[in-house]
Structure 1
Amino acid sequence: MKISDFEQLVNFIGESLGEHCEVVLQNCSKGCIETIVNGHISGRKVGAPLTDLAKRIIENNDWEEYDYITGYEGRTQDGKLLRSSTFFIKDNGKLIGMLCINLDTSHYSQISELLLSLGGLAMSGKAVLIGNEHDSNQETFVNSIEDSFTSIIRNLYGNEIPDNFTQEDRLNIIQNLDEKEIFEIKTAISYIAPKLKCSESSVYRYLQKVRKEKLKSHLT
């Protein structure tokens, strides 16, 4: 069995359920998205890393006990609330992938608020969403390497991006990327090296230095 065998199923489910439903095939061996339909919902693309929840499932071996999990909350980087379910794809006792369905419920929330307001029952102020990004049963999504890199550069430099990055610049950028777990994607270093105008081995050394400093700060 190959993870690519499920690509047509992902396309079928995505087209059947419509534009408000994101369907994702996550490759556990590569640690990234293999196929995605309606990725505009979370802003992710093929190659984006596994979510925090997916990593916890792998680390805790939850997939050994269950064949699937349903009805949990997911949240995009822009705060959009999703209703999510995941099916574990196993081959000879090994987890090779996850098929995830993420339903954008924001449209239903808007409809319910409209109906309440028409009936004079609308609540004052904004509705409070249950849960936060630190909940162990909630999933947060990370965008592609390109999107994350662009976002970090804009946050650090605005419109004044330097023509040549200093060593301090590179360390700062790599630290920010590592905090977003971008280096969990196997192709991350090869993508980032030319962007920082340095070799892949240099990026690796910078990354090791960043992680060493982070470890020291936790120990002190």
Structure 2
Amino acid sequence: MEHINDEIKFLTSTVKGIARQFGDNCEVVLLDLTQHEKYGSGLIVLIENGHVTGRKVGDTGTNLGLEVLRGTDQEGDKHNYLTKTKDGRMLRSTTMYIRNSENYPVGCICINFDITSLMMAETAIKEFTDLNKINTDVKEVFVNNVNDVLAVLLQEVQSFIGKPVAHMSKNDKLKGIKYLDEKGAFLIQKSGDKICEYFGISKYTLYNYLDIIRKEQDM
């Protein structure tokens, strides 16, 4: 009898411990299957957070228990599977059977974690982070001063042309300067000096290139 009482204390402690570890959304149930021939009310002998499925002590088990007791399901234990309550809430569930020395199920512990709110949150997050619904063509950079904006634009030129400035031809540089002009780089005060330094050209050449570019645009 003392041995049985120790087992009951351990199982009770386990049920309560799991429920407290995972909070109010985690239902933990202990069922007594020793009276399996009367599979009906009275199987639940301990339950924590019964509001998850709406059950209480004295209520019955589920259809899975019937399959195990009948022998249809030899494995019995099931871990991390999806279930649904009568009112449509989604649960992540685990069922673990307690067996006697003859490997016959005499009880089981069931864990049912309500993940409905988590799934709703996941849906909301995906709605905001779905790149298929976000315009990724706009390139905006947040910096502290306008010189940093110019530095970013100069970095973009190399990606736009597809080669480092040392390997750029005259036509490449024309394309690069046209890119900078369209991006408004020349509206930045003293930007011409830095652009000349970047391309390795004189101011005279820069203004000559700009003249060519803008004449082409006016045609």
With normalisation by structure 1, the TM-score equals 0.49
Q: TM-score, normalised by structure 2?
A: 0.50
Q: Which has the larger radius of gyration?
A: 2
Tell which has more relative contact order, 1 or 2 (C-alpha 8 A, sep 6+). Answer: 1
